[in-house]
Amino acid sequence: MFDKVKKNGTELLGKTNRIVEGTSIIGDIVSKADFRLDGELIGNFTSQGKLVIGASGVVRGEIVCNNADIEGEFQGKIKVLEILNIKASAQIHGEVAVGKLSIEPGAEFTATCTMLTNNPKEVTLKDGKGAEQK
């Protein structure tokens, strides 16, 4: 009776995935939507949206996303194509590549930092087999 119309990604606007405090994930996360992490991730994270690492959040691994806010702890490599906001409570250790960077006073930032000049407009997601998705 009613045919489902395929949407081009706009159905994800305003929707956020969430990993709550007390949850630990060992593995990789790939998401087209925004993501809030208040638990622990040991692995890689890729998203075409925004990643928020809450005050109790811990990430050890590699992150690639369009935007990010970090209040908790991050250790590894992070590539943010647009804006990375580091809050006063954050602890960052590793390698950082960003389009734009904002660090509040009080944040612990022990990292090498590279500013991206010719950054792509969108993160390309890869499935578990290494094939690219849009």
Residue 110 neighbours by CB under 8 Å, 6+ apart: 92, 93
pLDDT at 1 over 70: no
Interior angle at CA 107, CA 105 and CA 108, nearest 5: 135
Which residues make beta-bridge pairs with 98? 80, 115
Strands 132-133 and 125-126 turn out to be antiparallel
Task: Select the more confidently predicted residue: 75 or 121.
Answer: 75
pLDDT at 124: 64
Strands 34-37 and 91-103 turn out to be unpaired
Six token digits for residue 92: 């960052």
Average confidence (pLDDT) over 93-101 = 96
Task: Give the confidence band of 121 by pLDDT, cuts at 50, 70, 90.
Answer: low
What's the whole-model pTM score? 0.80
pLDDT at 16: 84
pLDDT digits (tens, 9 = 90+) for 41-74: 999 999 999 999 999 999 999 999 999 999 999 9
